[in-house]
A = this chain, B = another copy of it.
Amino acid sequence: MASNNILYAQSGGVTPVINATACGVIQTVRTNGQGLGRVLAARDGIIGALQEDLIDTTAMSDGEVAALRHTPGGAFGSCRYKLGSVEDNQEEFRRLAEVFRAHDIGYFFYNGGGDSADTALKISRMGDAFGHPVRCIGLPKTIDNDLMVTDTCPGFGSVAKYVAVSITEASLDVKSMASSSTKVFIMEVMGRHAGWIAAAGGLACRKSGDAPQVILFPEIPFDEDAFCKAVDESVKANGYCSVVVSEGLRDSAGKLLADAGTQDAFGHKQLGGVALVLAGIVRENLGYKYHWAVCDYLQRSARHIASKTDVEQAWAVGRGAVELALAGHDGVLAAIRRISADPYRWDIVPVPLSEVANQEKKMPRAFIDPDGFGITDACREYMAPLIQGEDYPPYRDDGLPDYIQPEFELVERKLPEYRV
């Protein structure tokens, strides 16, 4: 009998909805997986696959699997670990093939971004060489929304919703008190290379003058004078100014602003905190009272304010991966295809991993206002559907979300120990 178990692994930074994708895989196999075996999950991503740290999800109750849909973080663990080229890393790829063979794994589902697509593609291609072919399906996931081809990446819609809701709320706060207190509020969001997340803040702005009045994208080199002018104009016109800034903001020489010499208490260079740098610029040039927030992990784990659309898409790419595997696909991404914008309709289609691997989708310049401080209607049209709908987790009596934190036993090992 051919190997027919699935190995599912989470890769890279986790999201509020990556577990919803795992849920989609497991539920679909349980209800519609004729011909498929067990769904195994690698603990801590590809590291677990290498180390033979495997979890048998058949031990999970249906209730536990269902709870994955509303639980943030990566329930099976994730990692930042990139496999190199097959040529230079024969040992690692050989080990993977051994693990796959030992556990009758015929399908590898890799839930990640562009690097993971590359890894999945390599594994797909190595099969024959290592004597144990596996069908590889990529499942898109990244809050950065920077994968090619797919309409969006599960995870992004929920982060976008968090950012748009948060800047709406904080701006109401600032506006309330601007006449005698804080006039400038700066909110730092993720996005080291692409401004998708920062752009989501622009969804809060429905008419001229609405917050956020200034958005700073990594795609637009920072111009201190223009920034100060824009902030000052907003304070004079609206009484206050709300700023959303991407952590990846760079100056005209391409240097990260967050690297601009900020020192910590020990006199060491402090990474992170572009919000802090901007606050200093506001103080020096404008003298307005300011406040700043850094969302960091809060934004990418905020399952409590997830986008319903995003949760549905995250689940659907899990189901889609199973269906693609059953249909004999290999080396493809379960991509989201936009059928229409309004109403937003989409489906899941296979796209060759080679079109996705190791690439980054930047914000088109046409999505950013000519002045560089806001988003255009084209951007809004693209992005608005992605934050539609709410999908609240259930809450316990104590007022906190009923997230699952399963303790997993590892499948008994069949191979010699291997440590990454």
Mark A residues whose CB is within 8 Å of B.
10, 13-14, 16, 44-45, 47, 71-75, 77-81, 161, 164-166, 168-170, 172-177, 179-181, 185, 187, 203-204, 260-266, 268, 270, 272-273, 275-277, 279-281, 283-284, 291-298, 300-305, 307, 309, 384, 387-390, 392, 395, 397-401, 403, 405
Contacts and interface: CB of A to CB of B under 8 A. Distances in A.
A301 B80 contact: no
B399 A161 contact: yes
B400 A179 contact: no
| Top 10 A-B pairs, shortest CB-CB distance | A73-B172, A74-B176, A293-B296, A387-B399, A264-B280, A169-B301, A173-B301, A79-B180, A170-B297, A388-B399
Nearest to A268: B280
Contacts of A13: 177
A102 to B, nearest CB: 22
Contacts of A397: 388
Contacts of A72: 169, 172-173
B398 A388 contact: yes
Given A77-B179, A166-B298, A272-B276, 20 more contacts: A13-B177, A14-B177, A44-B179, A72-B172, A73-B173, A80-B180, A165-B400, A170-B296, A170-B298, A185-B297, A204-B400, A261-B265, A262-B262, A262-B265, A268-B284, A270-B276, A387-B398, A387-B399, A389-B399, A390-B395
A170 B297 CA distance: 6
Most central of A45, A177, A390 by chain B CB within 10 Å: A177
Nearest to A275: B294
Contact of A300 (B173, B305, B390): B173
A47 to B, nearest CB: 6
Given A164-B399, A265-B262, A400-B203, A74 B169 contact: no
A175 B405 CA distance: 10
Given A185-B297, A303-B169, A203 B78 contact: no
Nearest to A179: B44
A169 B304 CA distance: 9
Contacts of A74: 173, 176-177
Contacts of A281: 265
Given A73-B175, A164-B399, A169-B303, A181 B79 contact: yes
A307 B185 CA distance: 25
Contacts of A185: 297
A209 to B, nearest CB: 11
Contacts of A179: 44, 47, 77, 79
Contact of A403 (B81, B172, B297, B398): B172
Q: Most chain-B Cβ atoms within 10 A of its Cβ — which of A172, A309, A403?
A: A172
Contacts of A204: 400
A170 B301 CA distance: 6
A176 B297 contact: no
Contacts of A168: 400-401, 403
Contacts of A14: 173, 176-177
A176 B14 CA distance: 8
A300 B44 CA distance: 35
Contact of A165 (B164, B260, B401): B401
Contacts of A80: 177, 180-181
Contacts of A173: 14, 72-74, 297, 300-301
Contacts of A309: 399
A73 B388 CA distance: 24
Contact of A292 (B296, B387, B405): B296
A295 to B, nearest CB: 6
